[in-house]
């Protein structure tokens, strides 16, 4: 690897880490809000958590962990010049992302169908803490879902670059950064799942 290429690689990695840090600040702010309101409404948060489907949430956790494994394996495959395998693994990650969104769609539909959504009559009639819990739930999982969609689209584009030979063993920072972003999406869900679905 030439000196210039190495410098570009370091710059691209640093840029990605700085971007991921801003993402952590965004979700960190949401988790901070959660902590403040949990202290204020512990019973209502526990009651809200019991209304969420932990089996669906658990399935999504397994799906995202699997997708992260595929993304990591794709990076290893490209380092070994196994282009076809790398594309297949990226496609596996994207399939997991789609599966995650399908489950999330059914979960949200069921909640909205039961009249549980921000500003609904059901929540207005209940204790204020419950309404806060679901507002935070929709905001956090909604923004996270958007990240899943962006990550899936990004990986789809990277897969085309791998297929075209633009991403290879000598220059795979694009795939590595895409995988890093995906790991962050996974990591954030690992925090969301117990906070919302397993809150006691």
What per-residue confidence (pLDDT) applies to 8?
77
pLDDT at 199: 87
Measured CA distances, 179 to 58, 70, 103, 134, 183 (Å): 22, 9, 22, 31, 6
Q: Decide: 99 and 145 in contact? Cβ < 8 Å.
A: no
- Does residue 6 carry a pLDDT above 90? no
CA-nearest of 85, 49, 54 to 163 is 85
Please write down the HEC assignment for all residues of the chain: CCHHHHHHHHHHHHHHHHHHHHHHHHHHHHHHHHHHHHHHCHHHHHHHHHCCCHHHHHHHHHHHHHHHHHHHHHHHHHHCCCHHHHHHHHHHHHHHHHHHHHHHHHHHHHHHHCCCCCCCHHHHHCCHHHHHHHHHHHHHHHHHHHHHHHHHHHHHHHHHHHHCCCCECCECHHHHHHHHHHHHHHHHHHHHHHHHHCCC
Separation between Cα atoms, residue 129 and residue 118, nearest integer Å: 12
Please say whether the dihedral angle defined by the alpha carbons of residues 57, 62, 67 and 69, taken in this order, is positive or negative.
Answer: positive
Convert the pLDDT of each residue in 83-109 to its tens digit.
999 999 999 999 999 999 999 999 999
CA distance 137 to 118: 10
Residue matched to tokens 């909205």: 112
Question: How many residues would you count in the chain?
Answer: 200
Query: Model confidence at 5, in pLDDT bands (50, 70, 90)?
Result: low
How large is the average pLDDT for residues 18-25?
95
User: What domains can be seen in the chain, in order of their start residue?
Assistant: 3-197 (1.20.120.80)
Confidence check: pLDDT of 3 > 90: no
| pLDDT of amino acid 112 | 96
The predicted-structure confidence for 156-167, as pLDDT tens digits, reads as follows 999 999 999 999
Residue 63 — very low, low, confident or very high, per pLDDT cuts 50/70/90?
A: very high
């Amino acid at each position: 690897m030439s000196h210039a290429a190495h410098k570009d690689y370091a710059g691209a990695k640093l840029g990605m880490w700085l971007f991921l840090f801003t993402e952590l600040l965004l979700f960190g702010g949401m988790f901070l809000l959660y902590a403040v309101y949990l202290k204020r409404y512990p019973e209502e948060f526990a009651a809200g958590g019991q209304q969420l489907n932990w089996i669906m949430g658990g399935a999504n956790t397994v799906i995202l962990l699997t997708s992260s494994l595929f993304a990591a394996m794709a990076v290893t495959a490209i380092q070994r010049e196994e282009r076809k395998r790398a594309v297949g693994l990226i496609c596996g990650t994207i399939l997991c992302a789609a599966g995650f969104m399908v489950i999330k769609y059914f979960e949200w539909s069921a909640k909205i169908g039961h009249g549980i959504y921000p500003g609904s009559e059901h929540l207005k009639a209940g204790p204020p803490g419950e309404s806060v819990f679901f507002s935070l739930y929709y905001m956090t999982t909604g923004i996270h879902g958007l990240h899943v969609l962006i990550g899936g689209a990004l990986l789809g584009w990277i897969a085309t670059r791998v297929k075209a030979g633009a991403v290879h063993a000598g220059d795979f920072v694009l795939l590595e950064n895409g995988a890093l972003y995906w790991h962050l999406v996974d990591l954030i869900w690992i925090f969301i799942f117990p906070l919302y679905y397993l809150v006691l």
